[in-house]
Amino acid sequence: MRIKRAIMAVVVVLSAGVLAGAAQAASPFTVVNGSIQPATGTPRPASGTHATLWHNASYATIPVQGAGRLVLGAIGDHCDGWPILRVRVDGDLAGEVTVASATDYGSYPVGAELPEGRHDVRIELVNDRYTGTCDRNAHLAYVRTQPPPTADTSFTFAVVPDTQEEVLTADDARLRQRVDWLVAQRAALDLRFVAHSGDVVNYDTPDHVQYERARAALRPLEAAGMPYTLAVGNHDTQAAGPGGELRRPAGQLLRDTTVFNRYFTVGRFGAVGGQFEAGKVDNTYATYTAGGVRWLVLNLELWPRRAAVAWAQAVVAAHPRHNVVIVTHHYLESDATIGQSPGYGSTSPQYLFDNLVARYPNVRFVFSGHTGTAAARVDTGVHGNRIHSFLQTFHSRRTNPVRLVEIDAAANSLRTWIYAPHTDEEFPAHERAYAGIGLVR
């Protein structure tokens, strides 16, 4: 493009001046020290032309209407390197892009997102080079705004209740069928996380067959890359004997989760960010982002030790911008009151409320099982935050309920319901909806 290089000292302004027969519509660009040429790249612009810049004094201007990030479509002529374009928006420097194709107009984003309105854009060539054997030029096909992506503000997570009745026989497929249903509904529900509130199995046996069945039933979650966690219930420890009867000494055996940890690991869960004790999933936390906000699922042992509660305090304090979901096996009683007994563990649900749940402003939900069927309550933390707690247990011998929680972050609301895919059964008495849940952003 150097045939008339000497003439380029004269400023030439071309806006609709296009080579004959080249254009389908007038060029949107005004060019100084450049020209409008027939388009040679793909995809072909609507005008059938591009604006050519061949000198460090070359620039093109174009008005752009809209909001979002600015995107340039351009190709370039390589000459010991690709052309670099400097972009100014409304007189301010937005940034620079390197055009890296001679055939594909591509999409080169530049600068920060722009507010809605008209914006005057100027594009300058800043690294002109001409050697006699090659000539570095840039050719602009379009400039537009790319609207910011629509925020996905609504999503679902699931909480599976006690499944101890579902692993007793080899022909009971309810746990696997529930898991398969959750995976199949992942897109429809926008399902992001699956928690289990404990009592995965009923009791251990020498061949650990119930653990084998549970692990096999949960594998579809792992194959689908769906993060999940399992709370440890009393039946998941050595405190539960054949038929579910209590072994002695119960308190000591409650903390024997050796077999549970052999079958379920942080690697299987998929999103664990930390654990209280190395090699054990009894107390873990996992994080993820959904609805445009951050979430932390805190998985706590049953009737937790004070040291485990202190660890949980440190985890929550270290994640002040995460919305915290606590899952532990026993918290609510069947009448929706907070449990007062430590059972044969270390601390009571009331202790957990006083020292963890109510103490931090970003705690939003508590889920538990162990007793009763289903219940819900709302408490207020010491910082004025609402804490929604849900019980789901059922101990069903015929179907497989699962609690689904739909969060609408834009509306700051939740809806929860319980559904059993095995019998296609709904439980309308346990549906709840809450507004103003106070998500941390």
CATH number of the domain within which 180 lies: 3.60.21.10
**Residue 95 lies inside a defined structural domain of this protein:** yes
Share of the chain above pLDDT 70, in %: 94
Mean local confidence (pLDDT), 373-383: 97
Mean local confidence (pLDDT), 146-164: 89
**pLDDT tens digits for 331-351?**
999 999 999 999 999 999 999
| pLDDT on residue 365 | 98
Are 325 and 431 in the same domain?
Answer: yes
| pLDDT on residue 6 | 34
Mean local confidence (pLDDT), 30-36: 95
Q: What is the mean pLDDT of the chain?
A: 92
| pLDDT on residue 24 | 47
Burial 254-275 (b: 16+ CB within 10 A, else e): bbebebbbebbebebbbbbeeb
Are 124 and 181 in the same domain?
Answer: no
Are 184 and 275 in the same domain?
Answer: yes
**Residue 440 lies inside a defined structural domain of this protein:** no
**Residue 178 lies inside a defined structural domain of this protein:** yes
Domain encompassing residue 300 = 154-435
Are 164 and 313 in the same domain?
Answer: yes
Among candidate residues 95, 119, 146, the one where a domain is terminated: 146
Are 193 and 320 in the same domain?
Answer: yes
Token digits for 385?
């935050």
Rounded Cα distance, 228 and 232, in Å: 13
| pLDDT on residue 278 | 94
Give the closest residue to 432 by CA, choosing from 386, 371, 395, 381.
Answer: 386
Burial 281-307 (b: 16+ CB within 10 A, else e): bbbbbbbbebbebbbbbbbbbbbbbee
Are 318 and 185 in the same domain?
Answer: yes
Are 247 and 337 in the same domain?
Answer: yes
- Please work out, in degrees rounded to the nearest 5, the angle formed at the alpha carbon of residue 70 by the alpha carbons of 68 and 75: 150
**pLDDT tens digits for 39-74?**
999 988 989 999 999 999 999 999 999 988 899 999
**pLDDT tens digits for 101-111?**
999 998 888 98
Among candidate residues 126, 146, 166, the one where a domain is terminated: 146
Domain total for the chain?
A: 2
| pLDDT on residue 26 | 85
| pLDDT on residue 25 | 65
Are 407 and 345 in the same domain?
Answer: yes
Q: What phi and psi, each to the nearest 5 degrees, are found at residue 247?
A: -85, 165
Supply the pTM of this predicted model. 0.70
Give the closest residue to 114 by CA, choosing from 66, 72, 149.
Answer: 66
Q: What is the CATH number of the domain that holds 68?
A: 2.60.120.260
| pLDDT on residue 107 | 81
| pLDDT on residue 39 | 95
Query: Is the pLDDT confidence value at 19 over 70?
Result: no
Mean local confidence (pLDDT), 177-185: 97
Are 214 and 302 in the same domain?
Answer: yes
Query: Is the pLDDT confidence value at 379 over 60?
Result: yes
Task: Considering only residues 116 and 296, tell me which one the structure prediction assigns the higher pLDDT.
Answer: 296
**Residue 58 lies inside a defined structural domain of this protein:** yes
Contact 196, 163 (CB under 8 A): yes
Query: Is the pLDDT confidence value at 4 over 80?
Result: no
Are 237 and 337 in the same domain?
Answer: yes
Are 161 and 133 in the same domain?
Answer: no
Query: Is the pLDDT confidence value at 405 over 50?
Result: yes
**Residue 224 lies inside a defined structural domain of this protein:** yes
Task: Give the pLDDT band of residue 9 (cuts 50, 70, 90).
Answer: very low
**Residue 441 lies inside a defined structural domain of this protein:** no
Residue 338 is classified by DSSP as B
| pLDDT on residue 378 | 98
| pLDDT on residue 244 | 77
**Residue 385 lies inside a defined structural domain of this protein:** yes
Bridge partners for 374 per DSSP = 392
**Residue 333 lies inside a defined structural domain of this protein:** yes
Contact 379, 337 (CB under 8 A): no
Mean local confidence (pLDDT), 363-367: 98
